[in-house]
């Protein structure tokens, strides 16, 4: 079976994390989220975490050189050799070029970039209601997916909080950053014939089914 190297794209709040979690189980691939990796660094107080935090709190992008080095190291680990799912990376053309360079040196390539499309007003609605648990980052939504007990994680009983970057001003900035810096990547991967679009306003199950169908088609094309 050819390796499956996937990129999940889309605005913040498109459901990339939710889908990646399912795909990780479906295809037994490591899920590499640069946002999660950075948040772990911030929590652990590493040098990288200290540098990244000020950008993250404003909804700005962390400088490319920090991110590219972090991802390059992660993709070199044994569990990523048969494929991976990237979430939140690349986010700039420079990052995409650095990724292509690293992969081509290893005679590997991206299989597809899956774009989960969601309009801005829906993003704002989703993110402003999102709550995460302090212990493991389990996600809830005050309106669409509330916990059984207000403010308490169903899975591990820890406290639910709002991420600093899910506050309304920061959400608006994240969206602006997405449109200005990340959206140009849609053309980048379109030109390479790798971009696949998914309607992200549908239910998580429908989005999941659609992505699986896209992957099945890719595999058929690869087998021909």
Which parts of this chain interact with ligand AMP (CB under 6 A)?
12, 34-35, 38, 55-56, 59-62, 67, 88-89, 91, 95, 165, 174
Q: Is 163 a catalytic residue?
A: yes
Q: Which of 39, 91, 126, 131 is catalytic?
A: 91
Q: Is 219 a catalytic residue?
A: no
- What b/e readout covers 165-185, taking b as 16+ CB neighbours within 10 angstroms? bbeeebbeebbebbeebbeeb
Q: How many CA atoms lie within 13 A of 95 on its CB side?
A: 25
Q: Is 24 a catalytic residue?
A: no
Q: Which of 39, 126, 131, 174 is catalytic?
A: 174
Cβ atoms of residues 84 and 32 within 8 Å: yes
Place of tokens 């014939």: 193
Minimum CB separation of residue 176 from ligand AMP in Å reads: 11
Name which of 39, 101, 107, 43 is nearest 68 in CA terms.
101
* Complex with ligand AMP: residue 8 or 153, whichever CB lies closer: 8
* Complex with ligand AMP: residue 67 or 75, whichever CB lies closer: 67
* Complex with ligand AMP: residue 207 or 218, whichever CB lies closer: 207
Minimum CB separation of residue 62 from ligand AMP in Å reads: 4
Q: Is 28 a catalytic residue?
A: no
Minimum CB separation of residue 162 from ligand AMP in Å reads: 14
Place of tokens 């990129």: 7
Q: Which residue is nearest to ligand AMP (CB)?
A: 35
Name which of 3, 6, 2, 12 is nearest 119 in CA terms.
12
Q: Is 39 a catalytic residue?
A: no
Helix locations, the chain, DSSP H: 16-27, 34-44, 47-58, 64-75, 93-105, 120-128, 168-177, 184-191, 204-223
* Complex with ligand AMP: residue 29 or 98, whichever CB lies closer: 98
Q: Which of 126, 130, 131, 196 is catalytic?
A: 130
Q: Which residues are catalytic?
A: 16, 91, 130, 163, 174
């Amino acid at each position: 079976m050819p390796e499956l190297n996937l990129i999940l794209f889309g605005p913040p709040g498109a459901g990339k994390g939710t889908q990646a979690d399912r795909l990780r189980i479906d295809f037994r691939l490591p899920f590499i989220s640069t946002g999660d990796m950075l948040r772990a660094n911030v929590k652990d107080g590493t040098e990288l975490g200290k540098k990244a935090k000020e950008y993250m709190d404003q909804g700005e992008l962390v400088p490319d050189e920090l991110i590219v080095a972090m991802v390059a190291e992660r993709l070199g680990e044994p569990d990523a050799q048969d494929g991976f799912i990237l979430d939140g990376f690349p986010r700039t053309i420079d990052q995409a070029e650095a990724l292509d360079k690293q992969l081509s040196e290893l005679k590997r390539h991206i299989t597809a970039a899956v774009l989960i499309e969601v309009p801005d007003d829906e993003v704002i609605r989703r993110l402003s209601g999102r709550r995460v648990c302090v212990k493991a980052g389990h996600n809830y939504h005050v309106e669409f997916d509330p916990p059984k007990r207000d403010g308490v994680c169903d899975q591990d009983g820890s406290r639910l909080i709002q991420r600093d970057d899910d506050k309304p001003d920061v959400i608006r900035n994240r969206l602006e950053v997405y449109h200005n810096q990340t959206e140009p990547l849609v053309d980048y991967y379109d030109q390479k014939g790798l971009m696949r679009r998914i309607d992200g306003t549908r239910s998580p199950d429908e989005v999941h089914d659609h992505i699986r169908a896209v992957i099945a088609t890719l595999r058929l094309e690869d087998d021909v």
